[in-house]
Structure 1
Amino acid sequence: MPIFEGLLNDSLWWDDPIQSTILAPCPIEQSWTHLPGDMVKFSVDGAATSDKAGCGVVLRDAQRIISIMFYGPLSPLGLDFAELVAILKALEVFKAGNWIVCAPLIVESNSKVILNWLSDSLQRPWRWWKIFRDIGFLVTQIGNIQFQHICMEKNLADYLEKVSLQRSEFFEAWW
């Protein structure tokens, strides 16, 4: 995490989002993959310890401009749960912000387990059936969506999910 030390100051976000996220020079987004044309991409990441869980989510366009960012604590039910909730929240925000009419969506996750569960309903754990049902409903409504695996090291979503473990409340911003 030292690569992102001092990177985000969410108390400054509402006055100047650019300055609040560039407080120290660092090589952000070393794992960035370019997007075709009008697509947008959610990078989602979950974190969990034995007594805490959290997530970090960032939506960027093809020019890497952040349009949505949120991170914060979740119920401490494990890493898989944190990653699923991060995806669910990302899809909810995407739909609520009426992004559906704006651009096709890619959701990137570093969890092969979660991505396998999303693609094969027979492998899904029963205990989280409601989350899978809600994700499935949103996927149907959004329509043009792809789920992809990516390594999240040195990525803003990875940083945010680590920071989320230290927070007592959610931070959400979109415009």
Structure 2
Amino acid sequence: MVYSSNECLKFNVYGIVNKDRAGYGGILRDKEGVTRALFSGSVAKNDTDLAEIGTVIVALEVFLAMKWKLNDSLFIELGAIVVFNWCAIKSMRPLSLQATFADIERDIEKVGNVVFSMAEKNRNKMKSSLAIAGINREEMFKAW
């Protein structure tokens, strides 16, 4: 089944570090604030920026798996200014992450138009909760 969206869709994503592990989470909402998808997971590296770039990858994967067709843009709201700069300004991307960003660019082409923005601090408690839960999660959790 293919869904059509005439409305604004926004993924709020977040990465967090706790000792030797990092967790991440994301929540997709429509313009009315209705949750359409969410995910939570962990990575072994304790780097908040790498955890958050992982959220961008998973957000795009989840959106593509939902088979939605956009008439507008998919907004991805980030919590880390460093990751926002990497996504918005190609020249700021570390060389070590070029393959990762090539994958992200391929997924963006499949989605259509993706717009990155910065989240206000502590504005979305759900994404923070998903990221915290992800630290202790052994397997990725995705739902839509």
Normalised by the size of structure 1, how large is the TM-score?
0.72
* Backbone CA RMSD of aligned residues: 1.7
Q: Equivalent residue for 1:123?
A: 92
Q: Which has the higher contact order (CA 8 A, sep 6+)?
A: 2
Q: Which residues in structure 2 correspond to 1:64-75 (within 5 Å)? A: 64-75=33-44
| Amino acid across the alignment from 1:169 | E
Alignment match of 1:94 (pick from 47, 63, 86): 63
Q: Equivalent residue for 2:101?
A: 132
Q: Which residues in structure 2 correspond to 1:36-115 (within 5 Å)? A: 38-101=7-70, 104-115=73-84
| Pair 1:160 & 2:130 matched | yes
| Amino acid across the alignment from 2:134 | S
| Amino acid across the alignment from 2:37 | I
Structure 1 residue ranges, 4+ long, deviating more than 6 angstroms after superposition: none
The Cα of 1:88 is off from its aligned counterpart by 0.7
Q: Equivalent residue for 1:143?
A: 112
The Cα of 1:102 is off from its aligned counterpart by 6.1
Render the CA deviation track for 1:57-111: whole Å, top value 9, x for unaligned.
1001011111111102123151111000101110111112112346531100111
| Amino acid across the alignment from 1:157 | K
Task: Name the SS of the counterpart of 2:139 in structure 1.
Answer: coil
Could you tell me how far apart the structure 2 residues matched to 1:146 and 1:100 are?
16
The Cα of 1:151 is off from its aligned counterpart by 2.2
Alignment size in residue pairs = 138
> CA contact under 8 A between 1:72 and 1:169: conserved in structure 2?
yes
Could you tell me how far apart the structure 2 residues matched to 1:57 and 1:63 are?
17
Where does the alignment leave 5 or more consecutive residues of structure 1 unmatched? 1-36
> CA contact under 8 A between 2:23 and 2:40: conserved in structure 1?
yes
| Amino acid across the alignment from 2:60 | L
Where does the alignment leave 5 or more consecutive residues of structure 2 unmatched? 1-5
| Amino acid across the alignment from 1:138 | D
The Cα of 1:46 is off from its aligned counterpart by 0.6
**Which has more radius of gyration?**
1
Normalised by the size of structure 2, how large is the TM-score?
0.87
CA distance change for structure 1 residues 117 and 59 in 2, over 3 Å: closer, same or farther? Answer: same
